[in-house]
Amino acid sequence: MMRFGRIEAYVLGRSLFSVGVALAVISAVILLVQFVELSRSVGVRAEVSVSQLFGLTALGMPSLILVLLPFVFLFGCMSAYVSLNRRSELVAMRAAGVSAWRFILPTAAAAAVVGVITVTLLNPLAAASNARFASERARVMDNYLVDAPQDVWLRQGDERSQIVIHARDREIIDGSVVLRGVSLFVYQKDEDGTPQFTRRLEAAEARLLPGFWRLTDVREAAAGESSVRSESLSLRSSLDSESAMERFASPEAIAFWRLPAAIRTTEQAGFSASRYQLRFHQLLATPVLFAAMTILAAAFSLRLVRLGGLAGLAGAGVALGFIFFFLNEFAGALANADVIPLAAAAWAPPVIALLSGVTLLCYTEDG
């Protein structure tokens, strides 16, 4: 059983302190880079103050920090273990018969707990902050750039019908999706589940309200019949404003708790939900990834100082962390191309990193 005494508490405290320092340093770098980028892309095109730029920078930072959190644990824990090693504290612990597993496992468990908190609490906050960043940036740039009309394609459906929606432009007004120049193609499913075209609706504007679309200046034509005009028309919808806006967003911009609903509604509409499923599995694997980075940091930092080569070994650990990061991105690209299963693409890199760290520790500690 894993013991938790003074030694374990001391090493855990030092590791968490170093992780906090690494987080502060990386956050400062992100703040500087993001501020410079916004100054270049927004500040030279719109009348904004320094405080507004800092506000936009703060809104965009959380999502970037979450992406780099595995490196925060890698750098922070490696710094803590190297510092303990250089002061011969690890040597004294191991000379006293304390196994390295005793002070590594509590740190790995703490990293996994932080991973759970990151996925369940911080990820939704970062997604909301990212959405606010996008809307504020669009508002600031509104006086300089007028968004060009952009084609919008949506699809909604259930077990009985499918509706394909095309619009020339979209806008978010008071939290509601408003489409302009709208064409709706309505299909009914037959007994075999095959969609059969039934009617087409043309509308000047469509506003998504709870449970239905409100169409204005509508022209409706059924298959083989003449068109009928009406001032307004209501059409039942399985979408809400948030899920409809998520169709315009990347999977990374959707909060963890809303991903299952996004997957369900996307599949009901007849689209592939593979990107959302991949993102969901990657978030579920986050605690394993954080623990793996902690164990890798320890595996590359326990070499005795008197044997030399500690700096090179630590550098190799950092390089291996970057390799696993790019492996994770490469596996995601393969999954999106339907080359490998989604679950394997999301779980394989963290599990491989964890097993690599455990193997190196077993070799270093137990021979």
Q: What is the pLDDT of residues 265-278, one digit of tens each?
A: 777 656 667 888 88
| Per-chain mean pLDDT for the chain | 80
Residue where the block lists tokens 């700096």: 311
The greatest distance separating any two alpha carbons of the chain, rounded to the nearest whole angstrom, comes to 91
pLDDT tens string 118-167: 999 999 998 888 878 877 776 776 655 444 456 777 777 777 778 888 88
- Is the pLDDT at 248 greater than 60? The verdict is no
List strand residue ranges (DSSP E) for 194-326, in order.
195-209, 212-222, 228-236
- Is the pLDDT at 98 greater than 90? The verdict is no
How confident is the model at residue 145, as a pLDDT?
Answer: 45
Give φ, ψ of 178 to 5 degrees. -120, 125
Share of the chain above pLDDT 70, in %: 84
pLDDT tens string 292-317: 999 888 887 776 554 555 566 667 76
- The CA angle 136-67-14, to the nearest 5 degrees, is 120
Q: What is the DSSP letter of 211?
A: T
* Strand pairing report for 176-189 and 212-222: unpaired
Beta bridge partners of 325: none
Q: Say what the pTM is.
A: 0.75
Q: How far is CA 276 from CA 70, 124, 128, 264, in A?
A: 21, 15, 17, 10
How confident is the model at residue 312, as a pLDDT?
Answer: 66
When pLDDT is averaged across residues 332-346 and rounded to a whole number, the result is 85
The contacts of residue 241 (CB under 8 Å, 6+ apart) are 175, 176, 177, 208
How confident is the model at residue 284, as a pLDDT?
Answer: 93
When pLDDT is averaged across residues 190-218 and rounded to a whole number, the result is 83
Decide which of 209 and 347 is more confident.
347
How confident is the model at residue 21, as a pLDDT?
Answer: 93
Give the class (CATH, top level) of 159-237: mainly beta
How confident is the model at residue 241, as a pLDDT?
Answer: 60
- Is the pLDDT at 365 greater than 70? The verdict is no
Helix or strand run (H / E) with residue 320: helix 310-336
Q: Under a CB-based contact definition with an 8 Å cutoff, are residues 59 and 132 in contact? A: yes
- Is the pLDDT at 56 greater than 80? The verdict is yes
When pLDDT is averaged across residues 341-367 and rounded to a whole number, the result is 83
CB atoms within 10 A of CB 335: 23
Share of the chain above pLDDT 90, in %: 12
Q: Which of 48, 283, 226 is nearest to 142 (CA)?
A: 48
Residue where the block lists tokens 């998520």: 246
Domain boundaries, the chain: 6-142+276-366, 159-237
Q: What is the DSSP letter of 81?
A: H
**Residue 323 half-sphere exposure toward CB, CA atoms < 13 A:** 10
**Which SS3 state, helix, strand or coil, does residue 107 take?**
helix
How confident is the model at residue 147, as a pLDDT?
Answer: 47
CB atoms within 10 A of CB 284: 18
